């Protein structure tokens, strides 16, 4: 990328700057007595030059949009061709209330649904179970039966919009209800699209809403991936999630590391089942957090795409370029907001949303 002689000239110029100009300015205007780091604690140097990337290969390490390793995005035209899906997370106590909310959101420009379920539903309890007492509808909609799901989805064009369902332990059962509603309406499964979160490894790491032990839980995850690849080709049967890991206190680097590690583990289990990697990998999706450190977050998303593409191609042997894509939804960071600063929260959310868009997200919740 860089001419060696030019790098030597640049190194000499940098050394001169560090020995002359920088000390003069520090004498007049000392740096503040604080550590200069990203939000995640990564040090930020006072100066960056091509010397920090001496072996940088433009095509290998960056490339063009829509081409391997997809650092700059999985689509060549990105938002010039299609905006990110606007998908607000919503769920109220009853299925009727949430259905009304979804219709309101669609009427006002939302382009995809995202269902928030209440805690009993997330844990697999019926609404009238004694263990669910006092928790009905507190953080989302209650769905205990197929009738609840029919009411929730009443009048919604399931073959024209995509639906994300944030559900993990009971994901297989909730997805079955959704498919049953589509079937009862005469909508073929190959025409409906959406996502079930289904990421049980993230639950053990961060959110703690699991039902079954790890091994049977992983078997259910692979069952859903296999079923989706055969019968519901436009559905993402899993959304491998870093969001909750970040909200639980991880840095950007830790969020990325744990999320990708979980993703690779799901791939290994699917391959162990005997599935063809190019039959299921194109429908694996991801879900990331976005915090206030603007450039660190953009770098995180770009790094995620490049690492996933490389591992899927070189380690797991995927041949289909779509298997190399890391497609992801982004949600701005709840833990960065405070009730005492509502107007400042608007600024925080806008900054985080911009970082997600410049990072190349496919879908966004603010």
**DSSP code for 71:** T
pLDDT for 1 beyond 90: no
Q: What is the pLDDT of residue 54?
A: 85
Please state the φ and ψ torsions of residue 320, each to the nearest 5 degrees: -75, 125
The mean pLDDT value of the chain amounts to 96
Q: What is the pLDDT of residue 3?
A: 87
CB 102 within 8 A of CB 156: yes
User: Which of 94, 74, 98 has the alpha carbon at shortest distance from 84?
Assistant: 74
CB 315 within 8 A of CB 268: no
Domains of the chain in sequence order? 83-365 (3.20.20.240)
Digit-coded pLDDT (tens) for 290-314 = 999 999 999 999 999 999 999 999 9
User: Which of 228, 226, 223, 257 has the alpha carbon at shortest distance from 240?
Assistant: 257
Please compute Rg for the chain using Cα positions: 23
Report helix, strand or coil for 118. Answer: coil
Within 8 A by CB and 6+ apart from 160, the residues are none
pLDDT for 340 beyond 90: yes
What are the DSSP calls for 228-258, one per residue? HHHH-TTEESEEEE-HHHHHTT--HHHHHHH
CB 292 within 8 A of CB 336: yes
């Amino acid at each position: 990328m860089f001419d060696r002689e030019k790098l030597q000239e640049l190194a000499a110029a940098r050394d001169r700057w560090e020995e002359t100009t920088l000390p003069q300015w520090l004498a007049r205007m000392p740096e503040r007595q604080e550590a200069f780091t990203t939000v995640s604690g990564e040090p930020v140097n006072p100066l960056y030059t091509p010397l920090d990337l001496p072996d940088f290969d433009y095509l290998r390490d960056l490339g063009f949009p829509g081409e391997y390793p997809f650092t700059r995005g999985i689509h060549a035209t990105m938002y010039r061709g299609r905006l990110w899906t606007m998908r607000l997370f919503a769920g109220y106590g009853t299925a009727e209330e949430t259905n009304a909310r979804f219709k309101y959101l669609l009427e006002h420009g939302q382009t995809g649904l995202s269902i928030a379920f209440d805690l009993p539903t997330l844990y697999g309890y019926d609404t009238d179970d004694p263990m669910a007492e006092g928790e009905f509808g507190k953080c989302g909609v209650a769905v205990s039966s197929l009738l609840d799901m029919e009411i929730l989805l009443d009048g919604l064009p399931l073959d024209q919009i995509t639906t994300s369902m944030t559900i993990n332990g009971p994901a297989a059962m909730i997805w079955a209800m959704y498919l049953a509603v589509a079937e009862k309406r005469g909508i073929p499964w190959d025409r409906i699209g959406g996502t079930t979160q289904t990421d049980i490894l993230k639950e053990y790491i961060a959110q703690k809403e699991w039902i079954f032990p790890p091994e049977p839980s992983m078997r259910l995850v692979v069952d859903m991936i296999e079923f989706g690849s055969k019968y519901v080709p436009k559905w993402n049967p899993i959304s491998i999630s870093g969001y909750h890991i970040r909200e639980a206190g991880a840095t950007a680097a830790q969020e990325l590391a744990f999320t990708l590690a979980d993703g690779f583990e799901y791939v290994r289990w699917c391959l162990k089942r005997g599935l063809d990697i190019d039959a299921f990998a194109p429908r694996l999706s991801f879900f990331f957090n976005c915090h206030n450190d603007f450039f660190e977050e953009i770098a995180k998303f770009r790094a995620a795409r490049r690492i996933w593409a490389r591992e899927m191609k070189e380690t797991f042997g995927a041949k289909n370029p779509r298997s190399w894509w890391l497609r992801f939804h982004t949600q701005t960071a709840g833990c960065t907001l405070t009730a005492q600063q509502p107007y400042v929260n608007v600024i925080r959310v806008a900054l985080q949303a911009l970082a997600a868009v410049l990072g190349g997200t496919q879908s966004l919740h603010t």
